Amino acid sequence: MVLVLNPNAFRRFFTMKKAIIVGASSGIGRSLAVLMVQDNYRIGITGRRTVLLEDLKTAKPDSYRIKTFDTTQTSTIAQHLEELTQELGGLDILVRSSGTGELNEMLDFEPEKRTIDTNVSGFTAIADWAFNYFLAQKYGQLAAISSVAGFRGNSHAPASAASKAFQINYLEGLRIKAKKTSLPIFITDIRPGFVNTRMAQGQNLFWMASTEQAATQIFNALRRKQKTAYITRRWLVIGWLLKHLPNRILEKM
């Protein structure tokens, strides 16, 4: 039997862009994965719940690769990402979508620790791996979802706001570092306001975006290789106000 290869299919396989979305089992990450697969990406999806990742994969099995792990287990992150990249056959974009944040009026330490372990330690391990991978490859794009909440302190969720401030500044540092290399390495800081996910806690939340709307704007920002992207765009105004809000007003909120 003679195996006949379709030249067009062969070409598509090797020119197809590859991406990893860390935190794709639900929320924004899941919606973004669906959108990128529709645009002919091969996607590595990660999360802590295998059943949700498998459910996502069933729609287009050939387009997804799965890796289950917890980003708080920082010692194994590099191995998981390297294995997933090998399965994809390369990597063009890594999107860090996993994150957590809890209202913690009583300042219980365990919720604060969970937030720091995920949003600071886990985030840093992922960002560092991706940057070094793209540096060795000489091109690539790292994107991460921070938040407009990172501009100021928050008495209701101190660790959450502080961890987002860490992410914003860390991404800026990596962007400056990439600029000094003169290589096409792009760092995109995605700053949502309220998005309809389990992390949207509280009453009277305004300008709430659906995960699909958020994913569409994020994907457009990735394609334009933006430095920062507010989701939705109107949150740029809120971000500006938060930065310039006098302390005497902030202390009453």
- pLDDT confidence band for 9 (50 / 70 / 90): very low
Which of these, 178, 195, 197, lies nearest to 187 by C-alpha position?
178
Which domains can be identified in the chain, with CATH numbers? 8-250 (3.40.50.720)
Residue 24 near residue 33, CB atoms below 8 Å? yes
Among 223, 214, 188, residue whose Cα is nearest residue 41: 223
Least confident span in 40-54, 147-161, 175-189, 202-216: 202-216
Report the pLDDT averaged over residues 128-136.
Answer: 98
Q: Is the pTM of this model over 0.75?
A: yes
- Tokens representing 64 are 């997804």
pLDDT score recorded for residue 60 = 95
How many C-alpha atoms does 84 have within 13 Å on its Cβ side?
A: 31
Structure confidence at residue 14 (pLDDT): 53
Q: What is the pLDDT of residues 35-86, one digit of tens each?
A: 999 999 999 999 999 999 999 999 999 999 999 999 999 999 999 999 999 9
pLDDT of residue 10: 43
Tokens of 111: 């919720």
Q: How far is CA 171 from CA 190, 208, 245, in A?
A: 10, 25, 23
* pLDDT for res 237: 85
- As given in the structure block, the two tokens for residue 159 are 């660790």
Tokens of 175: 């962007």
pLDDT at 233: 86
- How far is 253 from 248, CA to CA, in rounded Å? 9
Looking at residue 99, its pLDDT comes to 85
Helix H or strand E encompassing 36: helix 27-38
